Amino acid sequence: MPLALTRTVFHPILNFFRLSSRLESKKKLSRSIAHIIGERPSNLRLYQLALRHTSASKETNIKGFRESNERLEYLGDAVLGMVIAEFLFKKYPYKDEGFLTEIRSRIVNRETLNQISRKIGLDDLIEYDGSRGRTMPARTSMYGDALEALVGAVYLDKGFNFTRRFVLKELLTHYDLEALVQTNANYKSRLIEWAQREGKEVRFEIIQEKGNSHYREFIAQVTVNDEPFTTGSGYSKKKAEQAAAEKAFELLQIK
Amino acid sequence: MPLALTRTVFHPILNFFRLSSRLESKKKLSRSIAHIIGERPSNLRLYQLALRHTSASKETNIKGFRESNERLEYLGDAVLGMVIAEFLFKKYPYKDEGFLTEIRSRIVNRETLNQISRKIGLDDLIEYDGSRGRTMPARTSMYGDALEALVGAVYLDKGFNFTRRFVLKELLTHYDLEALVQTNANYKSRLIEWAQREGKEVRFEIIQEKGNSHYREFIAQVTVNDEPFTTGSGYSKKKAEQAAAEKAFELLQIK
């Protein structure tokens, strides 16, 4: 790199400051991560990557391959899912797998992960659009995605046992598990409650029904004030309605 | 248990044989498991449970709770998913998370897990309907389910590192990973190929299209010889068609 060399020669002091400020920001990130996970990172690069949103992805030497936290998110999602699967398996020895699956999906729900990500201060560290901070709109999965990516980074950096402890002690403690278990997952009845509260009229209709003796499928439609809103499909009328109501819920962002 | 006591008194020899045959079958199971996982089980009960299909589930002291391998299957599914996630993450450092997710889902595909379960001899050990053996119809997920449950049992019995090695060395070696990666996941084109081979006429139609600017959904229908066969929905026409074609595939059991 002849240009860089020239620079070093001509601006040794400027270069020194540049280098030391980069070192300073690395040290700061290392301290922040240590604060979150309870131990100094061994490989800081993993955490830098975990905090890099797609919008700030970087070119690599591989043509067409840009680097962001998405691969680490994929890994962290699997690690998180497994640690929580074991936790619930042991906590509820007499509950069936349907219950365990449902509660786990509530725990790793995107909105909940977003909240926890903010609680532990990860939102301040995310790099996106070239800048760091929290001016992004609240309705994004960016924070939760970064949290999953962080779990992936911790796993690669510190191994399974450390990560398992981190998830159980630093993340799961933010949950009100009892409230989560009690939550009403009946989207149809919750949507009706919402409509009553808001003075809207909600209707459910089965708009299609297909199949033969081996295979049966229903499509339900939700209308809000007589306007078609969402549809959902399922192998029973009830399931189709629940699917349509759940989509309506997501769209309406009902809390 | 006065009856059992009486029995002991009246038939000491019969009782001795009963006990020793139960011990013998435990020893045999322990040897079989050791052969599969590469180490003697420490807690044989876990493996007995992993091999107990719902049809042979047992009453417990908890009212309404019957014990079978379904909870262990839930746990093993998560462990398997995570080990394979890490394996693919490291094997393909320049592939994006979409690729990794797709390949993983092909690896843990029910039909593939069934095959591997049979390859390692798990099918001979499964307890169902009160009897052991392999007279069940081939088209069942019983074998793959038991394999996942086995992974769950190994994890609880031997810990994470042992299980990780077991999955990588004893299960993943049965895969032709290159072939798996090359597999054509385009269900629409595969369904058309199938129709040509079988002399049938397959058509794809978008039968519904809904939504507003924030939300758009399509429903595609597959007809075989002019008969409605399956439908699928998606946020684009292409996705809806793929979903419908994939369902048709499952129904037709095209290999």
Mean pLDDT of B76-85: 98
Q: Which residues of B touch A71 (CB under 8 A)?
A: 89, 96-97, 100
Q: Which of B62, B160, B230 sits opposite A94 (nearest CB)?
A: B62
- Superfamily (CATH) of domain B43-182: Ribonuclease III domain (1.10.1520.10)
Of the candidates B75, B82, B94, the beta carbon closest to that of A89 is on B75
**Cβ pair A79:B81 closer than 8 A:** no
Tokens 């209707």 belong to which residue? A203
pLDDT exceeds 80 at position A13: no
Task: Taking residues B67-92, report their average pLDDT.
Answer: 97
Interface test with A, best of B53, B73, B97, B154 (most A CBs within 10 A): B97
Give the model confidence (pLDDT) of B217-235 as tens digits.
Answer: 889 999 999 888 999 888 7
Residue positions forming the annotated binding site of A for Mg(2+): 73, 145, 148
DSSP letter assigned to residue B52: B
Helix and strand totals (H; E) in chain A: 11, 7
Nearest CA in chain B to A95: B65
Q: Where in chain B is the domain with CATH 3.30.160.20?
A: 187-252
Q: What is the pLDDT of residue B2?
A: 44
Interface A-B: count of C-beta contacts within 8 A: 86
CA distance B160 to B166: 10
CATH code at A187-252: 3.30.160.20
* Statement: residue B138 has pLDDT above 50: no
* Average pLDDT score over residue span B142-155: 96
Mark yes or no for CB contact B65/A94 under 8 Å: yes
Q: Residue A54 carries which DSSP code?
A: G
pLDDT of residue A121: 95
A132-145 confidence digits (pLDDT tens): 444 554 447 899 99
Number of residues that this document lists for chain B: 255
Q: What pLDDT is stored for residue B28 in this prediction?
A: 95
Name the closest residue on chain A to residue B216, using Cα atoms.
Answer: A230
Q: For residue B97, which residues of chain A lie inside 8 Å, CB to CB?
A: 70-71, 73-74
More confident residue, A25 or A3: A25
Dihedrals φ, ψ of A204, to 5°? -115, 135
Does B241 show up as a binding residue in the annotation?
Answer: no
Residue A5 or residue A229, greater confidence: A229
As a whole number, mean pLDDT of residues B63-86 equals 94
Establish whether B96 is an annotated binding residue: no
Percent of chain B clearing pLDDT 90 (strictly above):
49
Chain B residues close to A162, C-beta within 8 Å: none
> Of B37 and A216, which is predicted with more confidence?
B37
Q: Tens of pLDDT along A90-114?
A: 999 999 888 899 899 889 988 899 9
Q: What percent of chain A has pLDDT over 70?
A: 88
Do B62 and A94 meet the contact criterion of CB atoms below 8 Å apart? Answer: yes
Quickly list DSSP for B61-116: SSTT-EE-THHHHHHHHHHHHHHHHHHHHHH-TTS-HHHHHHHHHHHT-HHHHHHH
B64 vs A154 pLDDT, higher one: A154
Q: Provide the pLDDT confidence category of residue B189 given band limits of 50, 70 and 90.
A: confident
| DSSP per-residue string spanning A166-227 | HIIIIIGGG--HHHHHHS---HHHHHHHHHHHHT--EEEEEEEEEE-SS-EEEEEEEEETTE
CATH for the stretch A38-182:
1.10.1520.10
**Interchain contact, A97 vs B65, CB within 8 Å:** no
Q: Best residue in B82, B100, B107 to probe A by mutation, most A CBs within 10 Å? A: B82
Mean confidence (pLDDT) of chain A: 86
Query: Any idea what the Cα angle at residue B124 is, between residues B85 and B168, rounded to 5°?
Result: 20
A33-61 residue pLDDT tens = 999 999 999 999 999 999 998 888 888 88
Q: Which residue of B46, B60, B91, B94 is the best one to mutate when testing the A interface, meaning the one whose CB has the most A CBs within 10 A? A: B94
CB neighbours of residue B99 within 10 Å: 15
Pairwise CB contact (< 8 Å): A82 & B86: no
Set of chain A residues whose Cβ sits within 8 Å of the Cβ of B151:
none
B205 is annotated as contributing to ligand binding: no
Contact between chains at B217 and A231 (C-beta distance less than 8 A): yes
- Select the residue of B74, B161, B230 nearest A101 (Cβ to Cβ): B74
The pLDDT tens digits of the residues spanning B3-33 come to: 444 444 556 777 777 778 888 899 999 999 9
Is the pLDDT confidence value at B83 over 90? yes
Catalytic residue among B67, B96, B111, B148: B148
d(CA A68, CA A128) in angstroms, rounded, equals: 10
- The whole-angstrom separation of Cα B174 and Cα B144 is 14
A52, A65, A75, A251: best to mutate for the B interface, most B CBs within 10 A: A75
What's the whole-number mean pLDDT along residues B177-182? 87
pLDDT (mean) for A3-14? 56
pLDDT at A61: 82
Q: What is the mean pLDDT of chain B?
A: 86
B148 is catalytic: yes
Which of A213, A214, A212, A216 minimizes the C-alpha distance to A239? A216
Contact indicator for B201, B224 with CB cutoff of 8 Å = yes
* A77 contact residues in B (CB cutoff 8 A): 85
Find chain B residues with C-beta within 8 A of A139's C-beta: none
pLDDT the model gives residue A84? 98
Domain with CATH 1.10.1520.10 in chain B: 43-182
Residue B230: its chain A contacts at CB < 8 A?
A: 215, 217
Alpha-carbon distance A71 to nearest alpha carbon in chain B (angstroms):
5
